[in-house]
């Protein structure tokens, strides 16, 4: 009997070592990792610089507390400010916590303006986490089932639809912010139109609403820019980060600009572990390696290569509805549920994921080589073709 709570339907495989884009299971079988721990291991596995940075820092100091100065946290916040153009960061430990911070920040921003019950506009099929507040922001009936009435303060609209946002904002003067993913990951690799994002940003400016982007999955280089919003040329008020930031050590960040960066004051928000020296060392080294190895450019060109390759092989294939993505965030939508493909790929030594029942999701590490990108396609394409024939 397992003593783990039964929260996951796990694949029957355990990995004991990794290198680059490859993982080895406990029987010595090798797998090509096209999932990167769900968009976490951007540097792949066991990157020597990351391993050294973590080991060096562990030998100095792992944790102190946020009641003291944490110089590495200051350095990381400055680095995030430099690459995002935003101002200040609150560090925490996960994507859900980064969004919790963003939600609390927006609520405080509202109450400071005299709005008693501030509300945030969120999207259909959004994924923001599984805490009670982020679950209410998340647009998944399945994830919310059984947990009682969702907390109030969220108003949901269809993705990519500015009219719907205008209507809700007109009807609800208590709206203080809009929160959305520039690319929905769990929602099935759905991309927000660039023009929509720009128009939404102008709308938020006009109405004094905070424009908040959840970049937990699409941030940290995955789309070929440091952050997804950078493809639009606009600056958000708030951005949440996690996943790729620490390359596998748990770190989350709520980054803010302008007035939003000044909302929290001592006593309004906090965490024991957030932004400790160990995770900050890992995140700083992650960003440094990404720059030194030109991983943003690589993500862009690899994404192009993979999407082109998938289109060439699958776009005329009956049963394939759409191939879409940006950089190394790629989805192949089929016309039927295809969760079975995960185990079939595993058998062939390839790690993939299926989301929204029918979207094959690829989130490979950014250090992927061209030939590995081609190998992912050459394993995946026949699997999809065979699957669609059954």
Ligand X SMILES: Cc1ncc(COP(=O)(O)O)c(C=O)c1O
Residues that bind ligand X (CB under 6 A): 94-96, 99, 127-129, 181, 185-186, 214, 216-217, 242
Q: How far is the CB of 134 from ligand X (least distance, A)?
A: 7
Kindly write down the DSSP assignment for every residue of 327-338, as one continuous string.
Answer: TTEEEEEESS--
DSSP state of 217: T
CA–CA distance from 241 to each of 214, 327, 360, 383 (Å)? 7, 18, 23, 33
Q: Which is nearer to ligand X, 128 or 231 (CB)?
A: 128
Q: Which is nearer to ligand X, 110 or 250 (CB)?
A: 250
Q: In the sheet where 22-25 sits, what is the strand order?
A: 15-19, 22-25, 30-33, 350-351
Q: How far is the CB of 112 from ligand X (least distance, A)?
A: 26
Q: Is-contact 143 128, C-beta < 8 A?
A: no
Instruction: Collapse the DSSP code of 315 into the 3-class scheme (helix H, G, I; strand E, B; otherwise coil) and give the result.
Output: coil
Q: How far is the CB of 334 from ligand X (least distance, A)?
A: 21
Which residue has the closest beta carbon to ligand X? 95
Q: Is-contact 62 277, C-beta < 8 A?
A: yes
Tokens of 100: 């919790």
Q: How far is the CB of 63 from ligand X (least distance, A)?
A: 20
Q: Which is nearer to ligand X, 22 or 127 (CB)?
A: 127
Q: Which is nearer to ligand X, 75 or 131 (CB)?
A: 131
Q: Which is nearer to ligand X, 238 or 313 (CB)?
A: 238
Q: Which is nearer to ligand X, 224 or 228 (CB)?
A: 228
- Run of H or E residues at 325: strand 320-326
Q: How far is the CB of 157 from ligand X (least distance, A)?
A: 17
Q: How far is the CB of 130 from ligand X (least distance, A)?
A: 7
The torsion defined by the Cα of 311, 314, 320 and 326, in degrees rounded to 10, comes to -30
């Amino acid at each position: 009997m397992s003593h783990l709570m039964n929260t996951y339907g796990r694949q029957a495989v355990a990995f004991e070592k990794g290198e680059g884009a490859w993982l080895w299971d406990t029987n010595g079988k090798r797998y090509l990792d096209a999932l990167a721990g769900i968009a976490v291991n951007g540097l792949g596995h066991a990157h020597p610089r990351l391993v050294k940075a973590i080991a060096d820092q562990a030998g100095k100091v792992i944790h102190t507390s946020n009641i003291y100065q944490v110089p590495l946290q200051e350095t990381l916040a400055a680095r995030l400010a430099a690459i995002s153009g935003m101002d200040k960061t609150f560090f925490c430990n996960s994507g859900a916590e980064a969004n919790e911070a963003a939600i609390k920040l927006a609520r405080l921003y509202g109450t400071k303006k005299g709005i008693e019950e501030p509300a945030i506009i969120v999207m259909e099929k959004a994924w923001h986490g599984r805490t009670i507040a982020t679950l209410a922001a998340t647009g998944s009936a399945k994830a919310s089932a059984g947990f009682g009435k969702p907390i109030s303060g969220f108003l949901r609209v269809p993705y990519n639809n500015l009219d719907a946002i205008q209507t809700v904002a007109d009807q609800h003067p208590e709206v203080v912010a809009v929160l959305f993913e520039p690319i929905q990951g769990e929602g099935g690799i759905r991309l927000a139109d660039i023009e929509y994002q720009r128009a939404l940003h102008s709308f938020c400016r006009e109405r004094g609403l905070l424009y908040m982007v959840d970049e937990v999955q699409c941030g940290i280089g995955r789309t070929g820019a440091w952050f997804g919003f950078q493809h639009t040329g606009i600056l958000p008020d708030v951005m949440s980060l996690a996943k790729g930031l620490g390359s596998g050590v748990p770190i989350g960040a709520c980054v803010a600009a302008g007035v939003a960066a000044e909302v929290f004051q001592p006593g309004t928000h906090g965490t024991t572990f957030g932004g400790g020296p160990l995770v900050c060392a890992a995140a700083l080294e992650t960003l440094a390696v990404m720059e030194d190895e030109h991983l943003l450019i690589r993500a862009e060109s690899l994404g192009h290569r993979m999407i082109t390759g998938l289109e060439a092989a699958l776009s005329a294939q009956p049963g394939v509805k759409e191939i879409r993505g940006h950089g190394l965030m790629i989805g192949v939508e089929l016309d039927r549920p295809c969760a079975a493909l995960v185990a079939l790929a595993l058998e062939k030594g390839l790690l993939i994921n299926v989301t929204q029942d029918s979207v094959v999701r690829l989130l490979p590490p950014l250090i992927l080589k061209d030939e590995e990108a081609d190998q992912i396609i050459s394993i995946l394409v026949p699997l999809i073709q065979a699957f669609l024939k059954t």
